[in-house]
Amino acid sequence: MDLKEIITDLFRIIYVIILIYVAYQIVRAIFGGTWATENILIAGMGVILAGMFTIVSFLINQGKCLGTLKERTKNIGDSLSNLGRDFKEHVSKHKR
């Protein structure tokens, strides 16, 4: 396990803990607890914002993977075209 995976797992754990804490405070506020409505809204927006950062980083990673795949497919297509051209030249030279 490398450092990047450890940090990612740590942030996931922190995110889940914050999410559970906010849910707990919302339940407390519903039953007459301590948090004011604006504090719940601010905490909820923070959770949503953190989730969006996670989604954006996932999409950036997917874009990199797709770009690499597209480049590899292009290279394979070029190689096959070159192979076909070489084969045609070979056949035309050795045609009887």
So what's the pLDDT on residue 43?
77
Number of domains in the chain: 1
pTM over cut 0.85: no
The predicted-structure confidence for 38-86, as pLDDT tens digits, reads as follows 777 777 787 787 777 777 777 777 777 776 666 666 667 777 788 788 8
The predicted-structure confidence for 7-23, as pLDDT tens digits, reads as follows 778 888 888 888 888 88
Q: Is the pLDDT of residue 96 over 70?
A: no
Token couple for 68: 């690499």
* Residue 11 lies in domain: 3-93
Q: Which among 56, 48, 61, 54 has a CA at the least distance from the CA of 22?
A: 48
CA distance 91 to 96: 10
So what's the pLDDT on residue 72?
67
- The CA-based angle 25-26-27, given to 5 degrees, is 90
So what's the pLDDT on residue 42?
78
So what's the pLDDT on residue 85?
83
As separate numbers, helices (DSSP H) first and strands (DSSP E) second, the chain gives 2, 0
